[in-house]
Amino acid sequence: MAQAYMTDTGNGGSEPEPSGSPVRRRLAELRRDPGIWRRGILLASAAVLLSLVMIFHAHLPNDIGNLGSLIETFLPWLGLAVPLLLAGAVWRKSATALIAILLTAGVWLNLFGGLVTDKSGGGGNLTVATHNVDADNTDPRGTAESVATSGADVLALTELKASAVPVYERALAAAYPYHAVEGTVGVWSKYPLTSTLPVDIKMGWTRAMRTTVRTEQGEVAVFVAHLPSVRVKLNAGFTANQRDNSAEALGQALVAEPLRKVILLGDLNGTMNDRALSPVTSQMRSTQGAAGDGFGFSWPAGFPMARIDQIMVRGIKPEASWTLPRTGSDHLPIAARLTLKP
């Protein structure tokens, strides 16, 4: 027979203490705790602020140190704050903070939950890959041989050092009978290349190119670009103005492209969330977002934190997107399988 214990109610009477499991007793104690809604206001405020940053990141000002672009570059990582805030809410026994944090988790899942799942399909008749090989790479031959094992039909390399180009040419000659190099970027292909020319991205030297790949399904315009690097400086913030100007120039070149099927490969030094790349991202489709498995972070190679290397398409269906094994570069190579229709 269950025994009921009496507790003082504070008004001269008594009420039975709940019986049953410890969990039920603990929940009953929390329901009688008047501070459960008043505690943790700072935690709840932090969760609300985090939600607002994620929802309205496109409206954050870029006038001072390109703050908006800096946050957008690492936007998915804001989700790491959720478990920390959640632990604080449990420790403080705050229902207010708990509800706010759960809403923040919902915002993050709405923005990035689709990237966590595997969206790759089984189709595809063209595989492409791109890699910033790093001008200071001490093993260009090993890097070339590694990316060639990806089975890519079209391979783009950026940050090519002039003295290393012959090494890449020799290492890739057997797998890729056609190639073209313009400045510090190049394309190696199993299909013939025509109409190759540099693309002016307002840098003063060539770091972008355009070529036509004559596939079995028809001609495809392939652009390769390496946009200027960005830096985070204490006295200047996120210095990305030159990158942004080059993105505008690249966007104009893509607009002017007459072929219907277009592929953009390269190191854009920015993520798909960065509004400064909108001249490019607004007219191209990311293979990682459409058919990737996970976030596909590509930089830095030792502990990837952002996907600044991109494969983007127009008039082409992405089937799968993935990162390749690490080479002697500070970037990871990335690849994608695409479906071209005649």
| Domain-located, residue 84 | yes
Tell me what pLDDT residue 187 has: 98
- Please give the Cα distance from 310 to 205 (Å, whole number): 21
Last residue of a domain, one of 116, 137, 163: 116
What DSSP string describes 95-130?
A: HHHHHHHHHHHHHHHHHHHHHHSB---S--SEEEEE
Tell me what pLDDT residue 70 has: 87
Number of folded domains in the chain?
A: 3
- Looking at the fold, whether 277 and 317 belong to one and the same domain comes out as yes
| Domain-located, residue 121 | no
| Domain-located, residue 20 | yes
Residues belonging to the chain: 342
- Please list the ranges in the chain whose pLDDT falls under 70: 1-20, 23, 25-34, 232-239
Domain boundaries, position 20:
5-32
Tell me what pLDDT residue 63 has: 76
Structure tokens at 61: 């000002």
- 185 Ramachandran zone, left/alpha/beta (phi>0; psi -120 to 50): beta
Tell me what pLDDT residue 33 has: 64
- Looking at the fold, whether 74 and 153 belong to one and the same domain comes out as no
- Considering only CA atoms, which of 339, 258, 257, 270 is closest in space to residue 310? 270
Q: Render pLDDT for 284-326 as a digit per residue (tens, 0 to 9).
A: 999 999 999 999 999 999 999 999 999 999 999 999 999 999 9
| Domain-located, residue 304 | yes
For helices 41-55 and 81-92, give the axis angle rounded to 10 degrees: 160
- Looking at the fold, whether 325 and 212 belong to one and the same domain comes out as yes
- Looking at the fold, whether 99 and 173 belong to one and the same domain comes out as no
Instruction: Specify the pairing of strand 309-314 against strand 262-267.
Output: antiparallel
- Looking at the fold, whether 107 and 138 belong to one and the same domain comes out as no
| Domain-located, residue 28 | yes
- Looking at the fold, whether 168 and 307 belong to one and the same domain comes out as yes
Tell me what pLDDT residue 9 has: 44
Residue 310 is part of a domain; what is its CATH number? 3.60.10.10
Run of H or E residues at 158:
strand 154-158
Specify the pTM.
0.86
- Please give the Cα distance from 234 to 255 (Å, whole number): 36
| Domain-located, residue 88 | yes
- Please give the Cα distance from 337 to 94 (Å, whole number): 48
- Looking at the fold, whether 212 and 164 belong to one and the same domain comes out as yes
- Looking at the fold, whether 19 and 150 belong to one and the same domain comes out as no
- Looking at the fold, whether 155 and 107 belong to one and the same domain comes out as no
| Domain-located, residue 179 | yes
What sections of the chain are H helices per DSSP?
Answer: 22-31, 41-55, 67-73, 81-92, 95-116, 140-148, 165-172, 241-255, 278-281, 287-291
- Please give the Cα distance from 123 to 119 (Å, whole number): 12
| Domain-located, residue 192 | yes
